[in-house]
Chain A
Amino acid sequence: EVQLVESGGGLVQRGGSLRLSCAASGFMLSSYTMSWVRRAPGKGLEWVSSSGASGTTTFYADSVKGRFTISRDNSKNMVYLQMNSLSAEDTAVYYCAKRDGGTYFDRWGQGTLVTVSS
C-alpha cells in the first residue's frame, strides 16, 4: 500500500527555517516525481515544488523560489523540503504528493502544519 508520511512541521519565528520530511513506502520512490503542495488557513491548495525522479531536476512556485529547496534520498525513501526566510504567508499545512503520469497527483500524505509567528 502506498503511504506518504510527512513530519517536521511546527511553530517557527518569522525569518526562521524549517525542514520538512516525507517518508514514502509501498512504491519505488526512484521512479516517480514527487511534489509539495500547501494549503494556508482559509485558502485553497497551492503547488510549492516538484523534484524529478532522480532529484536532478527541481521546480518551484514563484512564491518560494530562492527560499525553499526540495531534495530527496531515494535510498532512504525520503523527500525533503528545506524552508528558509519564512514569513507569515508560509503558514499552511504542507502535503507531500506523488505524481503519476506527470500531470496529476495520485497519492497524498496527511500533511504537516507549519506556523510562522511574527
Chain B
Amino acid sequence: QSALTQPPSVSGSPGQSVTISCTGTSSDVGTYDRVSWYRQPPGTAPKLLIFEVNNRASGVPDRFSGSKSGNTASLTISGLQAEDEADYYCSFYTNINTFLFGGGTKVTVL
C-alpha cells in the first residue's frame, strides 16, 4: 500500500484557519475511519491530535478539528497561533496491521 498524500506546506496569518488534506484511496481512507493526526514541532516528539477521523485527543484545544470526505481526510486549525508552527502528519491503520503515514505538512504562521 502507498503512503498517504499531504501537501508539503500550508501557511496562514494569526487568527486565520488552515486546512491540511490527507488523500488515500477507496481501499483505505475512503472506507474506514482509522485516520489519526499528529503534530511534531521542531526537535520534539510527535503528539496525537485527532483519532478516528474527528475525535480530539485529551487536552487538545477545540481549534483543531478533523473530517473526511470520500478518500480525503482533513485537519483544520482555526484561530491559527504562532505555537501551531510544526509538521503535521496523518496516519491510517490498515487491514494487515500496518500503518501508513502521509509525507507530512509544514504549517507556517506568517
**A binding-site residues for B, Cβ under 8 Å:** 35, 37, 39, 44-47, 50, 59, 61, 95, 97, 100-111
- B19 CB, min distance to chain A CBs, angstroms: 19
User: Taking the complex as formed, is B24 at the interface, i.e. its CB lies under 8 A from any CB of chain A?
Assistant: no
Residues A101 and B45 in contact in the complex (CB < 8 Å), given A46-B101, A47-B99, A59-B97? no
- A106 CB, min distance to chain B CBs, angstroms: 5
- A36 CB, min distance to chain B CBs, angstroms: 11
Instruction: From A35, A50, A61, A105, give the contact of B48 (CB < 8 A).
Output: A105
Q: Across the interface, which residues of B come within 8 angstroms of A95, CB to CB?
A: 45-46
Complex A-B, nearest 8 residue pairs according to Cβ-Cβ distance, in ascending order: A47-B99, A104-B36, A44-B104, A103-B93, A104-B51, A103-B34, A108-B45, A45-B101
Question: A61 and B98: CB pair below 8 A?
Answer: yes
**B binding-site residues for A, Cβ under 8 Å:** 3, 34, 36, 38, 40, 44-48, 51-52, 57, 87, 89, 91, 93, 96-104
- B98 CB, min distance to chain A CBs, angstroms: 6
Question: A47 and B52: CB pair below 8 A?
Answer: no
Instruction: From B89, B93, B97, give the contact of A44 (CB < 8 A).
Output: B89
Interface centre among A45, A97, A102 (most CB of B within 10 A): A45
Given A59-B96, A110-B45, A111-B45, 9 extra CB contacts under 8 A? A44-B103, A45-B38, A45-B46, A59-B98, A61-B98, A97-B46, A105-B48, A108-B47, A109-B45
Chain A binding surface, main DSSP class: strand
Give Cα A50 to B99, complex, Å. 9
Give Cα A104 to B6, complex, Å. 18
Question: A106 and B98: CB pair below 8 A?
Answer: no
Give Cα A46 to B38, complex, Å. 13
Identify the closest chain A residue to B91 (Cβ): A104
Identify the closest chain B residue to A35 (Cβ): B99
For this complex, 17 residue pairs linking A to B, each with C-beta atoms less than 8 Å apart, are A44-B89, A44-B103, A45-B46, A45-B89, A50-B97, A50-B99, A59-B96, A95-B46, A103-B93, A104-B34, A104-B48, A104-B51, A104-B93, A105-B36, A106-B51, A108-B48, A109-B45
Question: B38 and A103: CB pair below 8 A?
Answer: no
Q: Across the interface, which residues of B come within 8 angstroms of A47, CB to CB?
A: 91, 98-101
